[in-house]
């Protein structure tokens, strides 16, 4: 089912409003306080356009079987993603012989919620949340029926933002405008921006030591937010740069937020074919495919200059009718003492048609050409050892993007032993 056009028009306005709200937070302004998120804040304020959509859902959409199936699919997908994240977190605690009791309890709750999940159960779930939080005071400033319809709307809004907006770079966006106001055309002065819409981090920039990934550009005297990479990976890149191991790096900026940003911190796997990662075997052509009990797969191809990782999930993401996968690609060279150095590494999202995706699950040579690839970062001209300070660089970077952590651990098990 597609989101109705009149909903999309309103969602576009909500996106702009939410961007302004987030920018205010990043600027240190607390004029608006929405502790439960922007959209719920607007519900508590009884914003007319939002209320109009809620009324339409409550009075009309909830009587349409196709709409109910759509909302149910979104609810199920959200909970499955949350459950997978919790499993990863729980296992990380187990590695250091600890128990994450909060995540265990959340996982137990989500598992029970997903069991025999249907539309009626979803309605009861949100009704119970409303009653438990609004028992003594009307926290959300709405009725229980409005709250249930609101959550259906919220699921649609999140789906819209994820499936139609994430990989779009608006023309003449706010970031470009901020630079142009200082006499700088990003398209003209930055080849990586012109080609990939990445921001080249050169001597003009300082990488902020913050839990919000961002950089400071002295040319415009402002912070620029960085998208698609975590603060931990940003810190890792910073350390590699300080050691002089990275020649050049380009990152994916946030295009819609700019101006006055403060420096704030806010299953069993099997090796189907192939081999585990080994420095001794670098340069020997190989194709390895690992799969999990859920039939998620990790493909690794190696030749004398390149290593490519691609993660193929059965619970795949969909964007604009394309199936999305992730790839990490690197180039390496061998130096005199038999050590290998990474000269180039990047991460990107790949977009497949349905037919191409089915073919890709068995054929590693099948390409995804449904739309242009979307890079998140790109490192060139570098001399990065595979092991830096006891950390396997390749394992660390791939692990920050790919979801099937245990498949990675299976492939890198020999290196991780050391």
What mean pLDDT, rounded, does the chain reach?
A: 85
pLDDT of 4-36, one tens digit each?
888 999 999 998 888 888 877 777 766 667 778
What pLDDT, on a 0 to 100 scale, did the predictor assign at position 324?
93
Question: Over pLDDT 70: what percentage of the chain?
Answer: 88
- Exposure letters 29-42 (e unless 16+ CB within 10 A, then b): eeeeebeeebbbbb
For tokens 């092991």, the residue is 387
355 dihedral zone (left: phi>0; alpha: psi -120 to 50; beta): alpha
Residue 194 scores a pLDDT above 70:
yes
- Chain centroid to Cα 366, Å, comes to 24
Distance CA 268, CA 100 (A): 21
pLDDT band at 286 (very low <50, low <70, confident <90, very high): low
3-state secondary structure of 115: coil
Contacts of residue 31, defined as CB under 8 A and 6 or more positions apart, other chains included, come to: 24
- Check residue 273 and give its pLDDT: 43
Q: Among 408, 137, 186, which Cα is nearest to 299's? A: 408
What pLDDT sits at residue 405? 83
CB 57 within 8 A of CB 139: no
Range among 43-52, 291-300, 354-363 with highest mean pLDDT value = 43-52
pLDDT at 267 over 60: no
3-state secondary structure of 259: coil
**Tens-digit pLDDT profile for residues 312-340:** 888 788 888 899 999 999 999 988 776 88
127-177 pLDDT, tens per residue? 988 888 776 567 788 999 999 999 999 999 999 888 888 888 988 888 999
335 contact partners, CB below 8 Å, separation of at least 6: 341
> Residue 260: its pLDDT value, please?
61
Q: What is the mean pLDDT of residues 60-75?
A: 93
283 compared with 194, residue with greater pLDDT: 194
Secondary structure of 34-91 as H, E, C letters: CCCCHHHHHHHCCCHHHHHHHHHHHHCHHHCHHHHHHHHHHHHHHHHHHHHHHHHHHH
pTM: 0.78
Which of 100-114, 233-247, 370-384 shows the lowest per-residue confidence on average (mean pLDDT)?
Answer: 100-114
């Amino acid at each position: 089912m597609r989101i109705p056009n009149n909903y999309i028009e309103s969602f576009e306005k909500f996106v702009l409003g939410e961007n302004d709200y987030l920018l205010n937070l990043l600027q240190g302004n607390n004029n608006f306080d929405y502790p439960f998120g922007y959209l719920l804040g607007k519900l508590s304020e009884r914003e007319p356009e939002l209320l109009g959509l809620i009324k339409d859902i409550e009075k009309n959409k909830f009587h349409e079987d196709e709409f109910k199936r759509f909302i149910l699919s979104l609810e199920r997908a959200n909970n499955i993603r949350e459950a997978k994240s919790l499993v990863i977190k729980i296992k990380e605690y187990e590695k250091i012989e600890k128990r994450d009791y909060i995540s265990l309890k959340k996982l137990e709750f989500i598992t029970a919620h997903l069991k025999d999940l249907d539309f009626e159960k979803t309605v009861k779930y949100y009704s119970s949340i409303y009653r438990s939080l609004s028992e003594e005071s009307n926290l959300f400033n709405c009725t229980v029926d409005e709250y249930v319809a609101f959550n259906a709307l919220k699921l649609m809004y999140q789906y819209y933002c994820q499936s139609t907006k994430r990989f779009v770079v608006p023309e003449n966006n706010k970031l470009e405008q901020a630079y142009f106001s200082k006499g700088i055309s990003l398209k003209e002065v930055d080849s990586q921006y012109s080609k990939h819409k990445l921001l080249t981090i050169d001597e003009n920039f300082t990488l902020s030591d913050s839990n919000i990934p961002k950089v400071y550009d002295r040319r415009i005297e402002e912070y620029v937010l960085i998208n698609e990479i975590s603060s931990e990976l940003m810190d890792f890149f910073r350390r590699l740069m300080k050691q002089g191991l990275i020649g050049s790096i380009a990152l994916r900026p946030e295009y819609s937020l700019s101006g006055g940003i403060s420096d704030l911190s806010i299953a069993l796997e099997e090796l189907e074919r192939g081999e585990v990662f080994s420095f001794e075997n670098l340069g020997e052509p190989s194709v390895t495919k690992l799969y999990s009990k859920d039939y998620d797969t990790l493909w690794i191809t190696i030749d004398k200059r390149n290593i490519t990782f691609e993660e193929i999930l059965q619970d795949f993401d969909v964007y604009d009718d394309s199936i999305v996968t992730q790839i990490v690609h690197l180039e390496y060279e061998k130096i005199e003492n038999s050590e290998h150095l990474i000269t180039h590494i990047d991460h990107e999202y790949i977009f497949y048609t349905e037919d191409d995706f089915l073919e890709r699950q068995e054929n590693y040579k099948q390409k995804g050409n449904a739309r242009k690839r979307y890079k998140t970062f790109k490192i060139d001209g570098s001399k990065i050892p595979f092991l830096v300070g006891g950390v396997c660089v390749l394992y660390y970077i791939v692990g920050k993007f790919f979801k099937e952590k245990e498949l990675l651990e299976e492939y890198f098990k020999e290196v991780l032993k050391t």
